[in-house]
Structure 1
Amino acid sequence: MKVVAICNSRLRDVMPNTQFYNFVLDGESIPISLLDVPDLDYTELLSPNSVILEVSAFSCNYRDRTLLHLFYESCKTLSGKQKYFYSPIGSEFVGTVLEVGLAVTDFKKGDRVMANTSYPFRTNGSMGGVPTNFASQGILLLEEDQLIKVPDSMPDEVAAAFSVSAQTAYSMVRKASLNKGDNVLVTAATSNTSLSVIERLKKSGVNVFGLSSKAEKCEKALCDMGVKKVMSLPDLLEKGDLNTFFIKTKFDAVFDPFFDLYFEKLMPFINFGGRYVFCGFYNQHPSFGFEEHTKSLYPFITKCITSNISLIGNCLGRKEDLVEAVSDYLNKYYAPQIDSVFTEDAISGFFIKSFVSERFGKVVYKYKK
């Protein structure tokens, strides 16, 4: 069984015929490899509501950047004399069902499935979220309500990059209660979540504006998706025609995946009764080199009170959000942006493109069939 993995460097000693690569992330060199490991047998662990699946393709999200560092630390810590640990990685996947428990009704052997990241609760009432952080593991054992069937017309590379961004974006837009003609700002416009929000907004009848540090490079691609204007944060903040226009016009809603980067700077640009919907923060690990500036929230909360601005937190979404996104995909109203697809030994390229190089959309790794 092939597994894309983070490794302890000592694995080289016991697997001399395996190719290892050093992937440098945030200044740390992390050994990675495409390992050939014994097949896993989950049949004894199969419960009535469980599903065993074989992973065909997987992808990573922003949170996996932090997990890469943490999993590598675990590999080093757990490895000892004659013990060599590796860790799979990845939070999205597509796979084929191998076995189902006796109580499973939604899936059968041979079905293609992808993640259902429903949050906060699954349909059985237990805590939801991302089904696995080890999506590159060749075989997965999950519960029925952690999965959703993949439409026949959806390719593996799309299914492996669909759930997290789509479910999050559809939930955020639902919570924003938009009206036709609203002026909407999407921050970090080339991030995976923001690209999905922009896709979702196509059918909302609103005016979409994008904020990006790559404004000049990505303006055409974003405008082709329906964004009216792409700007950088300095361009918006500095006094001039752009600043004057948006101070006067203001945004009715803001969608922000990195609350710690943008919130305090954007408050002057939010309209009375505006909605600020946020789903994450940038500084998730000390190695990111983020310089925090602790400020009192008092003036910003005061602004929210006096301007009736709603701050709306969001983590992932409901199953209904994912179902709507799949329906929109089938009706050509929504499509996730796929930057590139890697396979076989191109794992170094996969990790570099996922976490280091510039990209526009999700990066996917497909196992060779």
Structure 2
Amino acid sequence: MKAIVIDAFGGVDQLQLKEIDNPVLKDDRMIVEVYATSVNPADVKRRKGLFGGKLPMIVGNDIAGIVSEVGKDVTDFKSGDRVMANGAKAYAEFVSVNPERAVKLDDSVSFLEAAALPLVGQTAYEAIVTRGEVKEGDRVLIHAGSGGVGSTAVQIAKYLGAWVASTASGKNQELLQSLGVDRPINYEKEAFDEVLDEIDLVFDTLGGSIQARSVNVLHPKGKLLSIAEKPDRQLSGEKEIDASFFSMRPTKEALEILHKWLTQGVISPVISEVAPFSEEGIREAHELSETGHAKGKIMIKMKSE
């Protein structure tokens, strides 16, 4: 099979298209023929070696495709099933997938839509639902609402009945409005901590000074959740703020709920770019992701449906 392989950590030139062996089927796994995957910031970090790992390496986490084989212990899936999944080594034509991190895909959902959701969707779900416990009437600030995680978090928070503010550049203000953001903030023209107050939850996707300033807009017992960096304990000052960092933990339950919301139109992935499964295509997709200004998701189309 063809796969994008990294033999050494470094720049995009390390992403090389190679012919390698298909994954070996294990009893408790299934083999999925990948129709679409995506490029996430985590993939860029892995390519650079920031997470370490054994080389050679295939990166990629989001998987959408068709089951080609199932192990003898797998009972919930069969060959021919359309699925979306959290996985690993996704930049390949075939991938070994844990059934506990996969769900069957409704025929109404395209593979591109499905592959846009697992990583960012579950990250947003964990922030807004599991940890943030957002409920109707809550005031929520989501930083970088035009990004993959942010745009999904905005849609989930709005569905739960929250009042949502979100930051983005001037060119992405229209996107924030289309997602239903109640208070879009153009960070190029105004400071969020000068126009907001009494926020119940801040979802920080950026870290640094943005995180430090976010404390100013929270009410005294507000909550700050970050996927960017661990908050400084001294940031809260006299406030009783619950500030914490988390890394997403994939669960089948969350993936099933996200799939249901996808079929119901509650959430709709924002897809800005679709690159081909080629050395050049994936290198360009990584370069775009590295700018930090990509709108929504950058997708890789492996093959046509």
- Shorter-chain TM band: 0.7 to 0.9
Q: Distance in 1 between matches of 2:23 and 2:177?
A: 49
Q: How far apart are residue 144 of structure 1 and its match? A: 2.0
The yes-or-no answer on 1:114 pairing with 2:84 is: yes
AA partner of residue 110 (structure 2): P
AA partner of residue 138 (structure 2): D
Residue in 2 that maps onto 1:351: 286
Report the TM-score, using the length of structure 1 for normalisation.
0.72
AA partner of residue 229 (structure 1): P
Q: Alpha carbon RMSD of aligned pairs, Å?
A: 2.9
- Among candidates 155, 159, 171, match of residue 217 of structure 1: 171
AA partner of residue 98 (structure 2): E
- Among candidates 94, 101, 105, match of residue 146 of structure 1: 101
Q: How far apart are residue 74 of structure 1 and its match? A: 7.7
Question: Helix, strand or coil: the match of 1:341?
Answer: strand
Q: Distance in 1 between matches of 2:35 and 2:208?
A: 35
Q: Distance in 2 between matches of 1:303 and 1:185?
A: 21
Moved beyond 6 Å, runs of 4+: 71-75
Tell me if the contact between 1:354 and 1:362 (Cα under 8 Å) persists in the aligned partners: no
Residue in 2 that maps onto 1:316: 248
The yes-or-no answer on 1:31 pairing with 2:14 is: yes
Per-residue CA deviation, residues 45-84 of structure 1 (Å, 9 max, x unaligned), is x22x221222222112222221011299989xx6xxxxxx
> CA 1:350–1:179 in 2, change beyond 3 Å: closer, same or farther?
closer
Q: Distance in 2 between matches of 1:314 and 1:74?
A: 21
Count of aligned pairs between the two proteins: 299
Residue in 1 that maps onto 2:258: 325
Q: Distance in 1 between matches of 2:110 and 2:277?
A: 18
Report the TM-score, using the length of structure 2 for normalisation.
0.86
**Computing the radius of gyration over CA atoms, which structure comes out larger, 1 or 2?**
1
**Unaligned regions of 5+ residues in structure 2, if any?**
none
Residue in 1 that maps onto 2:180: 226
Question: Helix, strand or coil: the match of 1:202?
Answer: helix
Q: How far apart are residue 29 of structure 1 and its match? A: 5.8
Residue in 1 that maps onto 2:203: 255
**Unaligned regions of 5+ residues in structure 1, if any?**
10-24, 79-85, 117-130, 283-294
> CA 1:143–1:272 in 2, change beyond 3 Å: closer, same or farther?
same
The share of aligned pairs that are identical, in percent, is: 24
Q: How far apart are residue 111 of structure 1 and its match? A: 1.1
Tell me if the contact between 1:90 and 1:136 (Cα under 8 Å) persists in the aligned partners: yes
Matches within 5 A, 1:3-42: 3-7=3-7, 28=11, 30-35=13-18, 37-40=19-22, 42=24
Which moves more between the two structures, 182-191 or 101-110? 182-191
> CA 1:194–1:357 in 2, change beyond 3 Å: closer, same or farther?
closer
> CA 1:159–1:302 in 2, change beyond 3 Å: closer, same or farther?
same
Residue in 2 that maps onto 1:83: none
Per-residue CA deviation, residues 24-52 of structure 1 (Å, 9 max, x unaligned), is x8xx46333333x1442514xx22x2212
